[in-house]
């Protein structure tokens, strides 16, 4: 074969294969917004089709036995590689989604951790500073006997507050670590409500708030942990009492509908600012509408983590918790899957 003939074949091969490569590159670029599987198939087909058209052009469209054999080989290669490319693309797409989810989860955990650290550093400092000041005054002997008793009660109250805060921080750390695994059983929500009312009736009376329950005639049963659900509704009720002024009402009700079981805590407080509704269950988030000032300093002030803990426990029960305003006050609503009929 002479040199001019070789260069002629090279020119023909390039003339027929290069356009295929350029068109394939354009397809791959467009396919980036379509599907990863399309991109992978295009990557497999481009060299196969380019080779086929290049050989066809270089042979002057002379289809002989050798060319037919060559074509059969290319078809077999395509049949084998294209399904493999699709499977690889799907695997790669799932891997990319998983990696994105992991990165988002890690970022959210880091943001949550920073908020929690900032919250703890601020809220632990306040009661500790009070305890230290009172202790120094007692140690210096500048207080009368009756003042010592009053300050001792103040230390006791602040110590209880610190203990509750530490308990809430421990609970929140377990939720963030995904270590919350409630022991699920059939639970009647009306029994949970009874426990919650018993725990908060005295606090509500001292705050001047009427606490009542609205229960259906038939028990509403869910699959969950009675202890965890008592904690959820207790946190919601405590938050409602804290934001309801003297003379107001807090109502705890349960029921069921086509979407499952629900438990609602309604109050007649100042409501929730619209800008805060989407964030009231975030860790260490304080809305613009603060707690109602109380003259009784011994009333529980809470750790500020109650709603975040409630949201984490509800999520562990495969449920949801939402907040929205009523005509007067606010409503916190928990949704849970109903237990199957026995």
Neighbours of 327 (CB within 10 A): 6
State the pTM of this model.
Answer: 0.57
* C-beta separation of 254 from 262 below 8 A: yes
pLDDT of residue 248: 92
Between CA 98 and CA 286, with CA 337 as vertex, the angle to 5 degrees is 70
Tokens of 203: 């606090």
Between CA 240 and CA 150, with CA 290 as vertex, the angle to 5 degrees is 85
Tokens of 5: 């003939």
Q: Which helix (H) or strand (E) holds 254?
A: strand 249-257
CATH for 183-342 is 3.30.565.10
List per-residue pLDDT tens for the chain, 342 residues long.
555 556 666 676 667 667 766 776 777 676 665 666 666 666 666 676 767 676 666 666 666 566 566 666 666 666 666 666 667 666 666 777 677 777 776 676 676 666 666 666 666 776 777 788 878 888 887 777 777 877 787 787 778 777 767 776 676 666 666 656 666 788 999 999 998 998 889 889 988 999 999 999 889 999 888 888 988 998 899 889 988 988 999 999 999 988 899 999 999 988 888 888 878 887 766 665 555 655 555 555 555 678 888 888 888 888 999 998 998 889 999 999 998 754
Tokens of 82: 């294209």
pLDDT of residue 267: 94
Question: Distance (Å, rounded) from C-alpha 46 to C-alpha 20?
Answer: 7
Domain regions of the chain by residue span? 3-100, 124-179, 183-342
Q: Which helix (H) or strand (E) holds 93?
A: helix 65-123
């Amino acid at each position: 074969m002479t040199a001019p003939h070789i260069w002629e074949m090279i020119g023909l091969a390039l003339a027929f294969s290069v356009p295929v490569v350029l068109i394939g590159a354009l397809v791959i670029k467009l396919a980036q917004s379509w599907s990863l599987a399309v991109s992978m198939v295009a990557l497999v087909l481009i060299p196969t089709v380019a080779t086929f058209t290049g050989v066809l052009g270089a042979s002057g469209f002379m289809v002989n036995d050798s060319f037919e054999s060559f074509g059969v080989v290319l078809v077999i290669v395509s049949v084998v590689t294209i399904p493999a490319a699709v499977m690889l693309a799907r695997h790669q797409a799932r891997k990319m989604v998983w990696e994105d989810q992991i990165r988002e989860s890690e970022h959210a955990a880091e943001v949550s951790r920073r908020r929690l650290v900032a919250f703890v550093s601020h809220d632990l400092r306040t009661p500790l500073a009070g305890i230290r000041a009172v202790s120094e005054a007692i140690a210096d002997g500048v207080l009368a006997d009756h003042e010592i008793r009053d300050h001792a009660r103040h230390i006791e109250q602040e110590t209880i507050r610190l203990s509750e805060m530490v308990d809430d921080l421990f609970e929140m750390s377990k939720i963030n670590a995904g270590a919350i695994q409630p022991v699920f059983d059939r639970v009647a929500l009306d029994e949970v409500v009874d426990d919650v009312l018993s725990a908060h009736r005295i606090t509500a009376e001292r705050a001047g708030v009427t606490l009542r329950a609205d229960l259906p005639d038939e028990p509403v049963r869910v699959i969950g942990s009675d202890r965890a659900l008592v904690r959820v509704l207790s946190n919601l009720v405590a938050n409602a009492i804290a934001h309801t002024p003297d003379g107001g009402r807090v109502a705890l009700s349960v029921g069921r509908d086509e979407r499952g079981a629900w438990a609602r805590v309604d109050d007649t407080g100042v409501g929730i600012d619209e800008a805060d509704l989407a964030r009231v269950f975030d860790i260490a988030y304080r809305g613009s509408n603060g707690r109602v000032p109380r003259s009784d300093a011994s009333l529980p002030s809470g750790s500020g983590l109650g709603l975040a803990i409630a949201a984490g426990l509800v999520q562990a029960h495969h449920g949801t918790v939402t907040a929205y305003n009523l005509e007067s006050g606010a409503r916190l609503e928990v949704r849970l899957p109903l237990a199957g009929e026995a």
